[in-house]
Structure 1
Amino acid sequence: MQLADLWTDAEAAVLGLPPWAAVLVILGGSLALAWLVRVGGDVVIRRLTRRIDGDVDDAVFSTLHPPLYVSVLIGGVYLAGAVVWDFTTFGYPVRSGTLSILVVLWAWTLTRLGRRVATAASDEVSFDRKILPIFQNVWTAIVLGASTFVLLTLWSVDVTPLLASAGIVGIVVGFAAKDTIANFFGSIALYADGTYAVGDFVVLDSGERGRVEDISIRSTVIRTRDDMLVTVPNSVLNSALIVNESTPGRDRRVRVPVGVAYDSDLEHVESVLKEVAAAEGLIEERPKPRVRYRSFSDSAVDVELLGWIDDPVLRGRVTHRLVKAVHAAFREEGIEIPFPQRELTVVGGAPDGTADAGLDGTRDGHVDAATD
């Protein structure tokens, strides 16, 4: 209540002055207030930007600062004009015109703010430069749409028919461009989730695997190991199973399965496999390569050689080299890699020594043994 009383007393005192004196007081007060806003804003901006890391906050404060004291000056000019001229007859257009100027000023400021923030954010590591234009365009559309609505309301334009027409147009456009809209929101969802970034090595549930070359509003481009570019719509990727082999780290484990004969010395086999992994330059020393026996199969003891590489792109090359090295080492050490063998003994053959069995091996004879 005290502030309201002070404002009422100040207003009565100003209106009690001669018109020319009231104009001088109002304009002088407006200039003084604008000066305080400018100087005080500079002090606040310097203190805040000194404590906050990054350039985004600098762009926000420096963009919003000038329109503040310009708005104060425009308000002072309007009040001074109200003292000199009688706005009772044409106050509506003057008031609407002044507010329209302020709306246009702040619409331009907010649009400029979006561009400056996008530019500042593009220098930050945590932002993707290809995604920022999407949010910049959306921000500009929202500001322009809201500003247009406010301007029409200020001039008493009925916006109900416009809103109805916009709703119908929106439905038509939505049906006509549903795929484009789905891709657009799919790109936003992929960015918000941090599914992948340019340069990551990904594997899709459809079987494609490769490095992400480009991410746009509509699609993602993947370069496969065959050096082919595959373009996948973002709406498809948003609902697909994606394995990102580049996160949280680029190190990946390579598995080389092999089988050894049952009469093999498993300790010796394990030692040979570790020596093969240690001799491979693309296998990392940490974590150390491992050998794990997995199961007993029909023909062999199944074992896996496990090693780590520093880039998932090297998986095919390292697997190729390890398979060759394991084969050569086993041959040198006399370790057998068994394969299925079947021996058939036919009973009751023909006099000439040929079998009188049918194609299934059971007519006039039978399978006597089946060994590996």
Structure 2
Amino acid sequence: MEWGSGLPLPDWAVSFGEAVIVFALAYVIQRLLARLLADRMRKRFDRQSLSRTAMRAIRVGIFAFAVLIVLDSYGFNLADFTLSVAVFSAVVGVILAPIVGSLISGVFLLADQPYEIGDMVEIQDTGQRGFVEDITLRHTKIFTLDNTFIVVPNGTIRERDVINYSAEDARTRQTIDVVVTYESDLDRARKLLVRVARRTDAVIEGGPDIRIGAARYPSEPVVLLEEFGDHGIGLRLRYWIEQPYRLNAIKSSIQTAYEDAIQDEPVAIAYPHSHLVFDDTSGSLTIDRDGIGSSGRAGGERTGDAGTDAATDVETDGGAGGNVDGTTDPVSGGEADPEAGSGTDGTDDSEPSVGS
């Protein structure tokens, strides 16, 4: 090929032009095939994730074929190139192992069908809820209820517990636990809770029983007596909703409405509290005459509430060398004269004795 001036074009320029043309044709072809096969893929596959994966595989195949054509135009030997790719893949296999593992997990994920595009799911260990936006061979994209995207690698999500709220039936059962006092009207408390739940938007009021496997559950709200607790009687409300993305809002509405409904009713919400009772005790302390031991019981008599001071009654028989009024009989331990040993001003008036 020659320029307008008659100069020949370099081989690399010719090859580059051919490569551009090949890639442009590959792009146009994959776009046309996407339009032609999109509807057929949706009809062929019931699951949207499979149809998207099939279309991605077609696009990758077209561009891979274009790359091979371009390499051939540059003079690469495809056999040698294939061998080089195999050797290179073996060398970097350890590095690419996580990516390959994620791709394999994506294949199993598409085959097992734990969730589908459009399903509402919850990652249980993190509590994140959202709608599945896309499923690829490498990751799952979830559009959360907080208006954010989270991208979870398929190798990770297969090892975590995922709750699917839209798998078979959009109806989801929820529970609310309420504890009322033992003094409350139990029958009235249960009726009010059922009535409040039925009047809440998005709560299924009734209808045919809901079947889950071999079990059948009533579709209307039901209140069960759960337990007799330390502080009150536990009631459990079970109700069904059709909007799993409003779990918290519906629960809050029911609890708020129930709190308002019991204001003028013989029903009270129990709360943890303790009532302490102290027994009345009495006793006496007896000191024997020799002052060696004691007999009887030492104790205090409590009167009134637990916070009042205890009064103690002490009985004495006149211990050795000691009287109740604090004076001392130095001779016989009998009745002592207050003025014998000390003066009224606290000084000692006795004469000192002189030893021999």
TM-score relative to the length of structure 1: 0.54
Q: Is the contact between residue 293 and residue 304 of structure 1 (CA under 8 Å) also seen in structure 2?
A: yes
- Choose from 193, 196, 212 the match for 1:273: 193
Q: Is the contact between residue 118 and residue 132 of structure 1 (CA under 8 Å) also seen in structure 2?
A: no
1:100-179 equivalence runs, <5 A: 120-124=40-44, 126-128=46-48, 129-136=51-58, 165-179=84-98
Aligned partner of 1:99 in structure 2 is none
Shift of 1:301: 1.3
Shift of 1:174: 2.5
Q: Is the contact between residue 131 and residue 191 of structure 1 (CA under 8 Å) also seen in structure 2?
A: no
Counterpart of 2:220, as a letter, is K
Shift of 1:296: 1.6
Counterpart of 1:336, as a letter, is A
Counterpart of 1:271, as a letter, is K
1:166-315 equivalence runs, <5 A: 166-207=85-126, 208-286=128-206, 287-315=219-247
Distance 1:288 1:125, change over 3 A: farther
Q: Is the contact between residue 131 and residue 142 of structure 2 (CA under 8 Å) also seen in structure 1?
A: yes
Aligned partner of 2:274 in structure 1 is 342
Shift of 1:302: 1.0
Distance 1:211 1:291, change over 3 A: same
Shift of 1:250: 0.9
Distance 1:188 1:349, change over 3 A: farther
Q: Is the contact between residue 202 and residue 242 of structure 1 (CA under 8 Å) also seen in structure 2?
A: yes
Shift of 1:256: 1.1
Q: Distance in 2 between matches of 1:158 and 1:316?
A: 60
Shift of 1:193: 1.2
**Unpaired segments of 5 or more residues in structure 2?**
1-28, 67-76, 207-218, 281-299, 310-356
Aligned partner of 2:262 in structure 1 is 330
Q: Distance in 2 between matches of 1:326 and 1:212?
A: 34
Shift of 1:225: 2.9
The Cα offsets for residues 34-86 of structure 1, whole Å up to 9 and x where unpaired, read as xxxxxxxxxxxxxxxxxxxxxxxxxxxxxxxxxxxxxxxxxxxxxxxxxxxxx
Please tell me the root mean square deviation across aligned C-alpha atoms, in Å.
3.8
Counterpart of 1:194, as a letter, is Q
Shift of 1:127: 3.5
Q: Distance in 1 between matches of 2:199 and 2:78?
A: 80
1:17-32 equivalence runs, <5 A: none
The Cα offsets for residues 70-106 of structure 1, whole Å up to 9 and x where unpaired, read as xxxxxxxxxxxxxxxxxxxxxxxxxxxxxxxxxxxxx
Shift of 1:228: 2.6
Q: Is the contact between residue 283 and residue 308 of structure 1 (CA under 8 Å) also seen in structure 2?
A: yes
SS state of the match for residue 122, structure 1? helix
Counterpart of 1:168, as a letter, is V
Distance 1:259 1:158, change over 3 A: closer
**Unpaired segments of 5 or more residues in structure 1?**
1-110, 145-156, 357-372
Q: Is the contact between residue 222 and residue 231 of structure 1 (CA under 8 Å) also seen in structure 2?
A: yes
The percentage of aligned residue pairs carrying the same residue is 24
Q: Distance in 2 between matches of 1:118 and 1:314?
A: 34
Shift of 1:198: 2.1
Shift of 1:345: 5.1
Q: Distance in 2 between matches of 1:305 and 1:219?
A: 38
How many matched pairs?
238
Highest Rg: 1 or 2?
A: 2
More helix by share: 1
Distance 1:184 1:158, change over 3 A: closer
SS state of the match for residue 341, structure 1? coil
Aligned partner of 2:334 in structure 1 is none
SS state of the match for residue 227, structure 2? strand
